[in-house]
Structure 1
Amino acid sequence: MSRWDSHTFTPAAGTRVHAAALGPRDTPEVVCVHGLGCSYRYWLPFARALAPHARTVAPDLPGFGRTRGPRRALGIRQLSLALADWLRATGRGPTVLVANSIGCQIVVDLAVHAPELVGPVVLDGPTFDRRARSLWTQTARLLRDIPWESPALWPPLLTSYAECGPRRALRTCRYALDDPVESKLHLLRTPVVVARGARDPVVPEAWAREVTALLPQGRLLSVPGAGHAVHFSAPGALARVTLDLLPGRARDTDGDAPR
């Protein structure tokens, strides 16, 4: 399984939303929501780790990856509305959602206006620490994260950033910095795992603990040695907790779970 096994383009959110998928069609499904400037590409290691137990579907939100977007960048609410439209257009929901970085903010916002679409959730590196909502602070933290990420992350990441362009990435980041995610966490009323790489400077341990405490059904997972992109650098660890959230799969994967 070196590649995604299918690509679809679905009319939704005023565009044609691209999504890549990997895994058997007769298994439970997991939908992945990418972070700032990213796309379906950097979810592939995680999708491989989940197969053959689950099918991973990774959509590109408008303006990112292979999904065309409007000329102006979209804010967190607009991106979560786009995700909701795609989920409805494809007949999904409630579904297991795994999100990374500002994708976590998008999923949390989804619970504000479309809670019926939200199943169990994994928040992988949830942004932004409310004590550090500064573009310069976050840029410095991202630079400190570089040594803790796999070198294999950079090709898919750079390709994705080239697709969305620096202007869209910067504007989206500013929208995300203005999003008070902590005020909405109580609306996620499904089981939620907050996953944090133990080396992640973007998501300090204190912030990860605060996020977890604000969730009605939250628990914290710390992944040793990992940085901000746990799903890429430690996909097996994230896959194991994700499988625990799937219907009928809880705690029954001993002996054949991802490593």
Structure 2
Amino acid sequence: MGETHDTWSVDLPGFGRSGTPAPPLTLPALADVVAGWLAVAGLEWACLLGGSFGCQVAVDVAARHPGLTGALVLVGPTVDPRARFAPRLVGRWLRNAAGESPRMVPLNIADYRDAGLRRLLATFAAAARDRIEDRLPFVGVPALVVRGGRDHMVSQEWAEQVTRLLPGGRLVVMDGLAHMVPYLDPQGLSQIVAGFLKEAGNETGHETGREAGHEAR
């Protein structure tokens, strides 16, 4: 995306290279941080791209802070209402792990270590409790749902339900990929997002590109 759109990667508080607030922030608090960053950055027609739990944060931003985003991309949106029990969610995660790249293992271990067990468990619980389906109808911007065709965390049925609940939703399935689409096929995802942004920009009357639009993820 960097070749056609200005792109930022945002570390949520407590993850990546961000600070480590105590106690761990709730999902709405994380969304408020992202909304605050968007407001300060002053981006025009920003697109939020969220992956997995990041989709829940992105939807919360768009639903509770209208006007800050111009579009959403939800890659592998969690959590399916039928998987809101720890054993079932862990089971799906284990089945999905077989399809992920083994090169992700050291990256995941480093991320988990940096975040700490308390924050990981709190985030896991917040993701499982969150009823994302209740907020999807309040997303008033064009939204793209992306699912890996072999994603065992996000079923095709759930991806289709998420798309239907979004007033401006559309769905793309990337065949042969597991849950972590951005890592497994970043180039393919980039092309899909660029096409979506062009279509969404035409629909809303906004040009998209380095000079007129921005993507935040």
Q: Tell me, what secondary structure is at the counterpart of 1:141? A: helix
Q: Tell me, what secondary structure is at the counterpart of 1:81? A: helix
The corresponding residue for 1:17 is none
The corresponding residue for 1:145 is 96
Of the three residues 57, 61, 64, the one matched with 1:110 is: 61
Q: Contact (CA 8 Å) 1:120, 1:192: kept in 2 or not?
A: yes
1:51-103 per-position Cα deviation (integer Å, ceiling 9, x unaligned): 32223210111111111132111111111001111112222354011100011
Q: Aligned pair 1:182/2:133, yes or no?
A: yes
Of the three residues 229, 253, 257, the one matched with 2:180 is: 229
Where has structure 1 moved over 6 Å in runs of 4 or more?
none
Q: Contact (CA 8 Å) 2:73, 2:144: kept in 1 or not?
A: yes
Instruction: State the distance in 1 between where 2:191 and 2:139 align.
Output: 21
Instruction: State the distance in 1 between where 2:44 and 2:35 align.
Output: 9
Q: What one-letter code is carried by the residue in structure 2 that aligns with 1:78?
A: A
How far residue 242 of structure 1 moved from its aligned partner, in angstroms, is: 1.1
Q: Contact (CA 8 Å) 1:75, 1:176: kept in 2 or not?
A: no
User: What's the TM-score once normalised by structure 1's chain length?
Assistant: 0.74
Instruction: State the distance in 2 between where 1:130 and 1:183 align.
Output: 11
The corresponding residue for 2:73 is 122
Structure showing greater relative contact order (alpha-carbon pairs closer than 8 Å, 6 or more residues apart): 2
Q: Contact (CA 8 Å) 1:97, 1:120: kept in 2 or not?
A: yes
Instruction: State the distance in 2 between where 1:92 and 1:157 align.
Output: 30
Higher strand share goes to which structure? Answer: 1
1:25-49 per-position Cα deviation (integer Å, ceiling 9, x unaligned): xxxxxxxxxxxxxxxxxxxxxxxxx
Aligned residues: 201
Q: Please tell me the root mean square deviation across aligned C-alpha atoms, in Å.
A: 1.5
Q: Aligned pair 1:158/2:116, yes or no?
A: no
The corresponding residue for 2:48 is 97
Instruction: State the distance in 2 between where 1:141 and 1:237 align.
Output: 25
Q: Which runs of 5+ in 1 are unaligned?
A: 1-49, 251-259
Instruction: State the distance in 2 between where 1:51 and 1:150 align.
Output: 23
Q: Which runs of 5+ in 2 are unaligned?
A: 202-206, 210-217
Of all paired residues, the percent bearing the same amino acid is 37
Q: What one-letter code is carried by the residue in structure 1 that aligns with 2:94?
A: L
Q: Tell me, what secondary structure is at the counterpart of 2:14? A: coil
Q: What one-letter code is carried by the residue in structure 2 that aligns with 1:166?
A: L
Instruction: State the distance in 2 between where 1:84 and 1:69 align.
Output: 19
User: What's the TM-score once normalised by structure 2's chain length?
Assistant: 0.87
Of the three residues 80, 83, 94, the one matched with 2:34 is: 83
The corresponding residue for 1:63 is 14
Higher helix share goes to which structure? Answer: 2
Q: Contact (CA 8 Å) 2:63, 2:136: kept in 1 or not?
A: no
Moved more, 100-109 or 139-148: 139-148
